[in-house]
Amino acid sequence: MDRIVVRGNGALNGDIPISGAKNACLTLMPATLLSEEPLTLTNAPRLSDIRTMTQLLQSLGCEVSALQEGKVLTMSSHDIHNHKADYDIVRKMRASILVLGPMLARDGHAVVSLPGGCAIGARPVDLHLKALEAMGAELDLRDGYVHAKAPGGRLKGATFEFPLVSVGATENAVLAAVLAKGTTVLKNAAREPEIVDLANCLIKMGAQIEGAETGTITIQGVDRLSGATHPVVTDRIELGTYMLAPAIAGGEVELLGGARELVGAFADKLEEADIEVTQTNRGLKVKRNNGRVRAVDVVTEPFPGFPTDLQAQMMALMCTAEGTSVLEEKIFENRFMHAPELMRMGAKIDVHGGHATVTGVDRLKGAPVMATDLRASVSLILAGLAAEGETVVSRVYHLDRGYEHVVRKLSGVGAHIERLHEGD
């Protein structure tokens, strides 16, 4: 099993290019199911989750071609011959549930396995199903599958208010509503950039969508959608992750393609911790001032608040901050599994329910640690940049789900990092 070795060696300097967003791409890919014409996505990230979604779409009858070393995905769904998303593929990734809405909208029936993915709490799909039921879908859960059909072969527009903000459920509802008969209004909808990116892509395909950035999305259903070409939005989580590299290790790094509007609340917290964040004509420049960073408190919230997907990485920074910080996780339960691993490196962390209290230490010490999920894996790598000695991160297959060329990108700005394969 592969592992990553990091040796703390001081300041980082240079440029890091930021890839297209994994979460956006995984949402955009199922949109091909809504049209018989080709959908082409540019700026696609090359990740294992993208390959999993490709396999899922192909299993349904989609033609998917990866061009320019995987940065361009061309998809055609002119012949959907299978409407069952099988457990063997769906279990690998929660985003697989996003094929349910499009298949139901286009052909009036679908059978989709309940999904798997990272072990971060329960993350049920009940909000997805309730939104589809509001549009007239008849659902039957049996044998681990969602059996769905639209009476008369077509969903109907409806007004639905999400009891909780849910990114995935909002995406599925939008994908379903664009071909529904009549008007759909989604209230208390997620406002993440990935939602806006999906809406922009669907509008290019002929959908009528308003308010994607407001929390109330109005969709006038159309009879058919056409093909389109659309660039995947910049990955705000990868952006925030690499913004933390110079914040933790010291130095000055420019994140190419970065925009503050994607990470506003996160950038504000970095500045509160005495890290300089500057928008340039190429991206975002991040610089750590001399001395230890200041401890800051963090509460994760739906966009535009502090992202839950940057909580683990922020905790790594707080481990060597001056003072005590409290991180409150309000999105997912059980998302402090990285804390015991950081403690193996000398961090002082006390976890109680959804709160983690971190008392900064002068320096972390390298140790063998184990990744428990995608964001935890990169938080341990970041911690290793500031640690004395060698940090060995095992189970890095989690990393491949969400970070493209992490070793190449960090070593390009001066980090001592390498990936060792089994047997090395």
Residue positions in the annotated binding site for UDP-N-acetyl-alpha-D-glucosamine?
A: 94, 123-127, 309, 331
Show Cβ contacts of residue 183 under 8 Å, excluding neighbours closer than 6 positions: 157, 218, 219, 220, 221
User: Which residues contribute to the annotated binding site?
Assistant: 22-23, 94, 123-127, 309, 331
User: Which residues contribute to the annotated binding site for phosphoenolpyruvate?
Assistant: 22-23
Pairing assessment for the beta strands 12-17 and 63-67 based on DSSP bridges: unpaired
Mark whether 25 is an active-site residue: no
Burial class (CB in 10 A: 0-12, 13-18, 19+), 99: buried
Of 25, 118, 201, 319, the active-site residue reads: 118
Catalytic (active-site) positions: 118
